[in-house]
Structure 1
């Protein structure tokens, strides 16, 4: 049902408490999480006034629901309020019927045409673009933090010059920059995010005066993949232009065209590029009346709005709790500066960190002061040389000394490890590292399809396992199985292999759970592993008398320090296989 008339009533807010800041008080009334606009009752806009006696002024808030209003509509309504306040009601233009544009949108491209377009764009996208792993797109934005920054005037001029030089719009430059920020915060070089379309580009005559909700959110895909700047800008501009023909397509139709599993969002960020020439904080609407601020809410955990002010630009970041909007704004600013300095053929690389963050990361990467850089397996070898008879590992009553553990971890280079928790598992992990390889944990109890994907994706050529596990493991063609039940190593040398390694060489690759799509291999390097273990020892200080319980499945990253920290001079006590993740039955032989 469409009402022919819906009256906006002017409400007066309760007086602010004595001594309270009236502006902050009125903002708090509107932005309280409990404040709601009832979508069942028209109009979905309110006018709330408050007298600010201390400042000798009246304040007016116009809270509204996005179902009926976009940025342009708010500017049109503000201009009409100005005419009425100045006694120029007769100058108001005749209303433009919104139904005309509804009809025009319905007469546009068919659903099948929209479906073909978005399927071509998104059918092979099987994982969401979710910075910092944030996937909840059902929030109300009540706890979001905001950061508003101006782009330096010199940078703004350089960005416009960059756009002209490449024959693209400034909007394309900012879309490419946002794609680079998402690449940095997701670890992906093929990203999808929502972009807000103006919705009035094909509206015909008088569409610029129409009041209503015209904007529409649609997905845009940007494939970075080390493309040169000129190519990346052209392709981003082309993607934006292609979207215009589908600016009225339903978002849900577009989302269903991707390969992302049902129930998982395709993207969790938005970019809103809007033209706001002359619209700046504190600008005068008419004599005696000024805009003193505004705030938006969104259900997405992270949004970037770019205000094109005609010459300069303003950045507005909205981020849910736990994401620092100032940090995101710094990423955007540094990426824009980087784009300006990038030559045409250079890849449009991910955003550079801010100076302060770069210094912090560099400081953390230096390791623990006073401790030499080393390899974890070399530290275990040194323990074998100095304390060969000391107990290194205990499993179900079986004790293994450091000398025996080191000798059994011979130089058999391999990658995949598919074993239950056992002495053989620990020996195999250490053997891979000593041989200069990176071990890839393969949990044979996972679904066969997922195991097969990890084996293919990791590129392993050998898998260490046992007969029972191999019986249920389908190895891809070309992958050699090393069955410990039949492998004869009696005649193999037991000295430490002379393998030349660098701290940047891989130590292990562990796959994620795949909750946001396909599992992803997280590659970890020797230098990082040593820094972590050295820090733990410096912070918590295990002694040779301490025992560490190894309980975490080796396909989870926490297991790494449980395996290797105690083996650097302490004792590891392995929990029996198939124990609950919450309770462990530790025998009296542990002494702990």
Structure 2
């Protein structure tokens, strides 16, 4: 606890306590009430807390959150405790937030000897192939192309999702990440870049590339060494003739660098660039594909690079322990029992009937290279302190506070009372040695379910959101596709379209041999319409949104940030207020999306029944018009019956997914209606899509039958799984009469289509 004496409480003009005028408390334990560690376990835990939280001393009754702890720091606490011979978990820290309560939960670990220091450049041993048996010739082919292999790993669910997106949207720059650092001081460019090349090669995960065409499931192939591409340009010595400033040249480079993308199947998925912008000023750009690593890894690699830079400049041996191998996580992840995850997620998502989606449905395809809007807000030191104080007082993390605030925004804008927002979880298993120093992609994005109860006290509701986040950590490695399926979502459907990520990976301000990192920013994109990024490090908390410009305009993006700002302000107010009272001050539903004023629609008959009925009552009326002419209701009914009968013969029934590879026009309408009359669900396979996107769509949706026609013969050749039935629409006589027995029997609850 922290106690600060005041002569009087500062009051606002309306007579309430003015929190913003309160002095900042000191969170180290006061002498009065301080209880020192009483046994060896408490002593070691106190030392760990002091190291991680930056304190001189910790009493056994001091609260972890009150001392400034959070979910990210809990991973470091667990890792350092393991090094001190104590096994604890992040969940135990939050359930038993004092050393006195935590110590009885701790387990003693046998002492471990320090490993050899090695040369500081590679792990201590080569990882075995962790992806199961692979053909010898395939491994030999990879080695001929990329040199001796260190490992072959299966991808995590998130990595598979990133690969899917890259193949489906090859023009998109989503998941291309750029770390942009401004440096000052004396620098030898080649030594600097060589240090970074060596730092990259130290970590096995950064040497990986993707393989998916020759194997049953996507893999990461990891050579023992890679040649990291690097460029250096001296912009002080070379005039490009345009008169552009260094900032303009940098912006152009960053855009061009993003457009270059990565060849995921072979080239290194990381590259470096260094630009001299003044006598002792530099800009360094590290570009990588997100499939390799998460933000936590950034300061780890940077620290290695800075140490290697010093070593190269001085000629001394690098003082670096062997880098932990990402393969340890791969093996741990492969050994998990998914049964508990499935039970948890089925219960967690039970009854979540519809997603609360912020982005409006797009009328046209988005340009995957359209730059997003990125409004940001850096809170004042005073307001940042208030926000942290409120979180401590209510026993929650800052991350929980921001998740709750964003859930309020989503609820108010969509009208949902039971919703899910995406939460990006660290994914680092505390039981793996050296996990806090391991470089790789551990994060996972999963749904945080939030229920809005207007009459619930705000502090109780906030505590429930905090507990919900803690519950996720025990089941944070389940692939999102499986979680969605366990929750009953149709294949390809999203449970949420906005995510919250807390980023606390400081590099800015680092001083090393000869130079200082004056500034650092991470340029990153996801395929979600809205990403909420929270940077809690430093004195001033920062909020940044990355908003899809094809879903929102600039003003709309700013309104989202303004709503989040108001939501946070409301949550730091009266703890006794109700959730309904808090939400009243947050931006409401966008009326054009909300359905306000639209009358309720009663249960009607399915569309195919209406068409069949019109074919009987008004057979000559025009039903469909396209560039090729007009179709009457009678013609539409007859043609769709032909398609439906053929699909029924092919085994199509309730919830069967039928791919439609057809041009837009009347034939597509006939096929859609035919699928519905057969009882199935249709999935449009646009012939203009990239080949890999079509392959993945068919596989993910589980299409057993595909209808192809309208001059699209050959489009899907070689893309369909073995056994897929292909119905050639151009070969069907759509004018004949067929037996309609068994048609038009679909129920209103059956799946109708996928997008």
Same fold flag (TM > 0.5): yes
Alpha-carbon distance between aligned partners in 2 of 1:138 and 1:223, rounded to the nearest angstrom? 32
Partner of 1:577: none
TM-score between the two structures when normalised by the length of structure 1: 0.56
Alpha-carbon distance between aligned partners in 1 of 2:409 and 2:382, rounded to the nearest angstrom? 21
TM-score between the two structures when normalised by the length of structure 2: 0.45
Partner of 1:75: 299
Deviations 1:514-551 (A, max 9, x none): xxxxxxxxxxxxxxxxxxxxxxxxxxxxxxxxxxxxxx
Partner of 2:260: 35
The answer to whether the 8 Å contact 1:301/1:319 transfers is: yes
Secondary structure of 1:344's partner?
Answer: coil
Deviations 1:545-592 (A, max 9, x none): xxxxxxxxxxxxxxxxxxxxxxxxxxxxxxxxxxxxxxxxxxxxxxxx
Residue among 354, 358, 362 paired with 1:131? 358
Deviations 1:448-471 (A, max 9, x none): 999xxxxxxxxxxxxxxxxx9xxx
The answer to whether the 8 Å contact 2:412/2:586 transfers is: no
Partner of 2:340: 113
Alpha-carbon distance between aligned partners in 2 of 1:185 and 1:326, rounded to the nearest angstrom? 14
1:460-479 matched pairs, under 5 angstroms? none
Partner of 1:294: 522
Q: What's the offset of the Cα at 1:174? A: 1.0
Secondary structure of 1:145's partner?
Answer: coil
The answer to whether the 8 Å contact 1:139/1:301 transfers is: no
1:94-109 matched pairs, under 5 angstroms? 94-108=322-336
The answer to whether the 8 Å contact 1:229/1:345 transfers is: yes
Secondary structure of 1:200's partner?
Answer: coil
Alpha-carbon distance between aligned partners in 2 of 1:345 and 1:251, rounded to the nearest angstrom? 35
Partner of 1:338: 570
Residue among 236, 243, 261 paired with 2:490? 261
Secondary structure of 1:64's partner?
Answer: strand
Alpha-carbon distance between aligned partners in 1 of 2:255 and 2:585, rounded to the nearest angstrom? 34
Residue among 498, 503, 506 paired with 1:274? 503
Residue among 207, 214, 219 paired with 2:442? 214
Secondary structure of 1:50's partner?
Answer: strand
Alpha-carbon distance between aligned partners in 2 of 1:134 and 1:34, rounded to the nearest angstrom? 26
Moved over 4 A (4+): 13-16, 134-142, 437-450
1:408-557 matched pairs, under 5 angstroms? 440=600, 442=602, 444=604, 446=606
Go from structure 1 to structure 2 and tell me whether the alpha carbon gap of 1:438 and 1:263 turns closer, same or farther (over 3 Å shift). closer
Alpha-carbon distance between aligned partners in 2 of 1:107 and 1:37, rounded to the nearest angstrom? 31
Deviations 1:372-414 (A, max 9, x none): xxxxxxxxxxxxxxxxxxxxxxxxxxxxxxxxxxxxxxxxxxx
Q: What's the offset of the Cα at 1:270? A: 0.7
Q: What's the offset of the Cα at 1:440? A: 4.6
Partner of 1:64: 288
Q: What's the offset of the Cα at 1:343? A: 2.6
Partner of 2:405: 177
- Mapped pair 1:243 → 2:472: yes
Deviations 1:422-477 (A, max 9, x none): xxxxxxxxxxxxxxx99655584555999xxxxxxxxxxxxxxxxx9xxxxxxxxx
Alpha-carbon distance between aligned partners in 1 of 2:584 and 2:365, rounded to the nearest angstrom? 24
Alpha-carbon distance between aligned partners in 2 of 1:172 and 1:114, rounded to the nearest angstrom? 22
The answer to whether the 8 Å contact 1:67/1:213 transfers is: yes
Q: What's the offset of the Cα at 1:292? A: 4.3
Q: Mind listing any 5+ residue stretches in structure 1 that lack a counterpart?
A: 362-436, 451-467, 469-592
Q: What's the offset of the Cα at 1:329? A: 1.7
The answer to whether the 8 Å contact 2:299/2:507 transfers is: no
Secondary structure of 1:264's partner?
Answer: coil
Go from structure 1 to structure 2 and tell me whether the alpha carbon gap of 1:245 and 1:346 turns closer, same or farther (over 3 Å shift). same
Go from structure 1 to structure 2 and tell me whether the alpha carbon gap of 1:225 and 1:157 turns closer, same or farther (over 3 Å shift). same
Residue among 346, 349, 361 paired with 1:122? 349
The answer to whether the 8 Å contact 2:228/2:272 transfers is: yes
Go from structure 1 to structure 2 and tell me whether the alpha carbon gap of 1:137 and 1:100 turns closer, same or farther (over 3 Å shift). farther
Q: What's the offset of the Cα at 1:327? A: 2.1
Alpha-carbon distance between aligned partners in 2 of 1:51 and 1:268, rounded to the nearest angstrom? 40
Go from structure 1 to structure 2 and tell me whether the alpha carbon gap of 1:36 and 1:229 turns closer, same or farther (over 3 Å shift). same
Partner of 1:149: 377
The answer to whether the 8 Å contact 1:190/1:223 transfers is: yes
Partner of 1:3: 223
Secondary structure of 1:208's partner?
Answer: helix
Alpha-carbon distance between aligned partners in 2 of 1:139 and 1:265, rounded to the nearest angstrom? 20
The answer to whether the 8 Å contact 1:141/1:320 transfers is: no
Q: What's the offset of the Cα at 1:17? A: 3.0
Go from structure 1 to structure 2 and tell me whether the alpha carbon gap of 1:439 and 1:149 turns closer, same or farther (over 3 Å shift). closer
The answer to whether the 8 Å contact 1:285/1:291 transfers is: no
Aligned length: 368
Alpha-carbon distance between aligned partners in 2 of 1:70 and 1:11, rounded to the nearest angstrom? 24
Partner of 2:387: 159
Q: Mind listing any 5+ residue stretches in structure 2 that lack a counterpart?
A: 1-220, 592-596, 611-616, 618-755
Go from structure 1 to structure 2 and tell me whether the alpha carbon gap of 1:440 and 1:239 turns closer, same or farther (over 3 Å shift). closer
Q: Which has the larger radius of gyration?
A: 1
Alpha-carbon distance between aligned partners in 1 of 2:572 and 2:609, rounded to the nearest angstrom? 45
Secondary structure of 1:192's partner?
Answer: strand
Go from structure 1 to structure 2 and tell me whether the alpha carbon gap of 1:132 and 1:10 turns closer, same or farther (over 3 Å shift). closer
Residue among 535, 541, 545 paired with 1:307? 535
Secondary structure of 1:61's partner?
Answer: strand
Alpha-carbon distance between aligned partners in 2 of 1:295 and 1:37, rounded to the nearest angstrom? 16
Q: What's the offset of the Cα at 1:176? A: 0.5
Alpha-carbon distance between aligned partners in 2 of 1:73 and 1:137, rounded to the nearest angstrom? 35
Q: What's the offset of the Cα at 1:199? A: 1.6
Bigger shift: residues 329-338 or 88-97: 88-97
The answer to whether the 8 Å contact 1:125/1:260 transfers is: no
Secondary structure of 2:579's partner?
Answer: coil
Go from structure 1 to structure 2 and tell me whether the alpha carbon gap of 1:122 and 1:449 turns closer, same or farther (over 3 Å shift). farther
